[in-house]
A and B are shown apart, each in its own frame.
Chain A
Amino acid sequence: MDQIVEKPDTLIGAAFPKPDAPDKVVGKTTYINDMVLPRMLVAKIKRTDRVHAKILSVDISEAEKVPGIVAIATAENSPKGLIGVLKDNPPLKGDKVRCIRDEIAGVAGETEEAVNRALELIKVEYEDLPTVFDPEEALKEGAPLIHEDKPGNIGLTFDFEHGDVKKAEAESDVVLEEKYELHYVTHTCMGPGCVIADFDTHGKLTIYTQTQYPYNYKMDLAPALDIPAGDIRVIQPPTGGAFGSKLDVYPFEPIAVYLAKIARRPVKLFFSREEEFIASPTRQPARVYIKQGAKKDGTITFRDVQVYLNNGGYTSWGATIPAVMMRTMTGHFRIPNVEFHSVAPYTNNPFAGSFRGYGNVQATYVTATLMDKMAEELGMDPIEFRLKNAQEPGERTPQNSLLKNAALADCIKISAEKTDFLKKHAEYTEARKTPGRIRQGIGIATSVHNAGGAKIHKSDGCGTILTMDDYGRATVITGASEIGQGIDAVITQLVSEELGIPPSDVLIANDDSAIGPWDVGVHASRTTFIAGNSARNAAVKAKQQILAAAARQSNVSADKLELRGGHVVQKDNGVSVTKLDRLIRAMHFAGEDAELVMVSEYYEPPSELEDKNHVGDISAAYAHGAYITELEVDTLTGGVKLHKITAVQDVGKVINKLGIEGQMEGGIAQGIGYGLSEELIIEEGIVKNPNFRDYKVVTAPEMPEIECHFIEDDEETGPFGAKGISELPCIIPGASIANAVYNAIGVRFDNPPITPEKIVRALHGGKAEAAE
């Protein structure tokens, strides 16, 4: 009797639970912070208490005597290699300290108590140096020099010019000139910084880390250690969040390695929550001067942007955010003439790293509020003005981003329709004229982001090795890291779909650099797109191998066969020609013709590096989003209550409905925090609120209703049409909140977060006013 195998429902677009979720929910997951290796020591860092000082002496003699102390690393007994994007950061400081994070010594011991005691006993003598904290001050002549080899305190600069801004300005009917001050926020990962270093007897290093870029991590770590990158094996245990904060090597990692080397034992170095606030990278703060012009009819004529990035003491990814910021400043909406200049002067502040959204959170706060200001100046509504300047599919931006299927206008129109935007916007504007304590507001913001990887390294690729065992199960070894974002689920779905096996028969292996093929890292919303394509292509190769074997066995040609429900079936009628596991065993145990199903794939997206003028189509696809926030403002207390965020986003194709909604909601929570409540307060280089009491992340009661509309336009280069989606939800909300607050109370805030106190000060000036 022929067995007919029905076509199962597709998994693409299904609500597929993350495979790692149940263990996390029941507390079974062993995060890196929970790990214990045999004979492992615990370690902590002695940090400075100065922001700019010469180190005169470091005395560890008393600390060494503490019972249980096994190793102390200082600049004197440690390798001298440097880390950071500009290799300007010695993991242990020997000559001077440049910011409050600076590491003087690492101490490893048998117990945390012993280590804490030893830290107290390390004596450091300093000679304070003059300080500078403001990026523009740092550029002035005579400003204190932070690095002797960086004259003028100049770190990274970015410059881009297109068209003729001067001429365009002269020809504009309206010109707006604004200054924005964008603040420090931090990632607040649930799992604070942690690393475990362990040498074998051959001198090879195994490092257990939270890194989100395991392969280039070796390359960045090795110079600080005086060992070849090839001698480093990177293991990635489950991590409690990263969001960009683990995209560089930071001093605590080499310090743990120095200690492991001295102690000849495994060393685990970890941060307290306070340290996590003080010593992990922040989002890059930015001071932005921007000019934008338009014709009376609403056509934008030019943008002219000057950005000062407070670089802090050392250069990590923070100072490179113009690479992303610029794409939005120069290319979000049709900007015929544009100049962008940025400089990142060194100061005595803590330094920034990468953070979900990169410079686009800052760029979108600026451009989306500026678009609203300009619409009002022109007497146009915010929708009409945006639609007037939205690019059409197929247009290229000045930096040569090809907006193949630009959905910007659709995003704007749909979001406006879904929320009845124009009616409410006009109504709330009108309501400002009559007295009332509670004001309603609605605001829109839009942005664009790379959605098909981002070629910032020579390769933006990802490797996959896929093997099938004798029982018909697939093991997918992918270069892509799972840092909580849900790539394991996505790859499971894609492979399961191609191979016609249930998702429970797919195992993902991706926590060991000794096994996994290269990947550039989890960043730039790239993993579903890049690693997804790579995994899918590998699955297609495996499928071809399997179908070829099935064709030989069954005398039905391969193109008439497909994989379905654990069988090889005839495409047209679903009749099983063989069970998949049986076929694979037959292939395996075929004597001289024996073969394993074992394929590899390296996927490189069709994108290009920027040239030296920052021109280049860096991503295989771009995605737009339009978010509308509805809120109310209590004009007496300044309290803002969010009602609803309507998010319309071009996602290409939904792969995992649960995953995408999780990314949207989580990103929006971070975006709200950026706009309304989160700020790492840094005064004279010192972090003033290194705790969750005073650093206000958004909690559950403040979360508004979130309504998502996904535009699925099937990106031709994406896996099953998918684009990268996960940064826009964090990028756009802040600006849409700012526009909604303006709609409610008629006040602009160019210095987020928009706290209740700022609102009250703006509305009531120096004088307290009466309640009604």
Chain B
Amino acid sequence: MNTVENYIAPGSIEEAAAALAAGPVTIVAGGTDLMLQTGSGAIAYAKTLMNVRRIAEMQGVSIDGDTIRIGALTTITELKSDAIIAEHLPVVAEMADKFASDQIRNASTIGGNICNASPAGDGIVPLMMYGADVVLASAKGNRNVALSEFFTGPGKTVKADNELLVAIEIAKPAAGFKGGFGKFGPRPALEIAMASVALGGVVKDGVISNVSVAFGAVGPTPMMGAKTTALLEGKTLNEETISAAGEAASEEVTPIDDVRASAWYRRHLIRVMTEEILNDVG
């Protein structure tokens, strides 16, 4: 049975990075994934448990020129009601509304959602669609990684053990960019996605451009929909295009059968939700 020997709660990124450099540390933010995983024995605590919630620099949403910065500690509740998010990244707010329940949204951080690296992580999908980067900090300095290149498998990322996710950065979407988020699970709340889609683009005179598509829960990691994007880019958004896009989406995802749903049903849901969002934005 493994137990935590030290508990630390640094007040700055610098201190946290120093602690990470010094050796095995388990990071806790909201704890809504971590507590369950350590409780069930799926993962073990390192000797040092580091609560990052007191680091002010990792909190809140801000905008600087064309870049929107979301602190890693921003909670899902904050994303749901933040004015900058509502104005520039409404699909993130839409996702937040479909995330868990009030209690879980209050505790869950976006950084935790990303670092947990679940293929079904809801927060990841719209951020990927918006072309977000994650900002990783270590004692050696910061680096940016595209969210679309961050994940390497279920629960696995390119983040090194000595790195802390401090923020998410997103270039302001193009003028007129519109999108939507679809998530399906049998219950309306407190539900893990069987499949999810975030899709957006600029629709002008019936033609869609600047298309971006991301999928969740239909592969080992959340994924970009390159084929669906290519199919849609520059096309007139009519019934035929929408149906072709739904088909492309259902074909390019790589779901598996598990206790929650079959691969077949997940593909079906991807198709339905992709078409639904396109009908809404068109």
Contact = CB atoms under 8 A, between A and B. Distances in A.
A76 interface: no
A503 B198 CA distance: 59
B101 to A, nearest CB: 8
A760 B188 CA distance: 18
Interface string A514-533: 00000000000000000000
Contacts of A636: 272
A431 B40 CA distance: 49
Contact of B260 (A694, A700, A771): A694
A338 to B, nearest CB: 37
Given A117-B1, A760-B265, A689 B259 contact: yes
Interface stretch (A86-94, A663-671, A743-751, A761-769): A761-769
Contact of A699 (B190, B259, B269): B190
A113 B2 CA distance: 9
B272 A637 contact: yes
Interface string B1-29: 10100000000000000000000000000
B261 A757 contact: yes
Contacts of B192: 693
Nearest to B192: A693
A700 B190 CA distance: 10
A771 B246 contact: yes
A113 B265 contact: no
B88 interface: no
A761 B265 contact: yes
Contacts of B262: 757
Contacts of A769: 268, 271
B142 interface: no
A639 B184 contact: yes
Interface residues of B, number: 29
B267 interface: yes
Contact of B1 (A113, A639, A756): A113
B188 A770 contact: no
Contacts of B276: 771
Interface in B217-238: none
B259 A757 contact: no
B186 A755 contact: yes
A116 interface: yes
Contact of A770 (B187, B190, B243, B264): B243
B189 interface: yes
A684 to B, nearest CB: 14
Interface string A668-700: 000000001100010000001100011010011
A78 B21 CA distance: 53
A694 B192 CA distance: 9
A701 B3 contact: no
A688 B257 CA distance: 13
Nearest to B269: A637
A689 B258 CA distance: 10
A702 B269 contact: no
Interface residues of A, number: 31
B152 interface: no
B197 to A, nearest CB: 12
Contacts of B212: none
A164 interface: no
A755 B259 CA distance: 12
Contacts of B267: 768
Contacts of B250: 768
A125 interface: no
Given A760-B268, A764-B268, A681 B3 contact: no
B254 to A, nearest CB: 15
Contacts, number: 65
A768 B187 contact: no
Given A637-B184, A639-B184, A761-B265, A699 B243 contact: no
B187 to A, nearest CB: 6
Contacts of B184: 637, 639, 756
A696 B192 CA distance: 11
A297 interface: no
Contacts of A755: 186
B271 A768 contact: yes
B189 A699 contact: yes
Contact of B186 (A639, A700, A770, A771): A639
A754 B268 CA distance: 18
Contact of A771 (B3, B40, B265, B275): B275
Nearest to A694: B259
A768 B268 contact: yes
Nearest to B239: A770
Given A113-B3, A768-B271, A677 B187 contact: yes
Contacts of A677: 186-187
A615 B70 CA distance: 72
Contacts of B190: 699
A274 interface: yes
Interface in B144-198: 184, 186-190, 192
B279 interface: yes
B130 to A, nearest CB: 24
Contacts of B260: 694
Contacts of A688: 259
B263 to A, nearest CB: 11
B187 A696 contact: yes
A254 to B, nearest CB: 27
Interface string A689-721: 100011010011110000000000000000000
Nearest to B251: A768
Contacts of A699: 187, 189-190
Find the residue from A274, A694, A760 having the highest chain B CB count within 10 A.
A760
A113 B269 CA distance: 44
Given A688-B259, A764-B268, A768-B267, 8 more contacts: A274-B40, A676-B186, A677-B187, A702-B187, A757-B261, A757-B265, A760-B265, A766-B264
5 contacts: A113-B3, A637-B272, A702-B188, A757-B265, A768-B247
Interface of A: 113, 116-117, 274, 636-637, 639, 676-677, 681, 688-689, 693-694, 696, 699-702, 755-757, 760-761, 764, 766, 768-772
9 closest A-B pairs by beta carbon, nearest first, are A771-B275, A768-B268, A757-B265, A113-B1, A768-B271, A701-B188, A636-B272, A688-B259, A689-B259
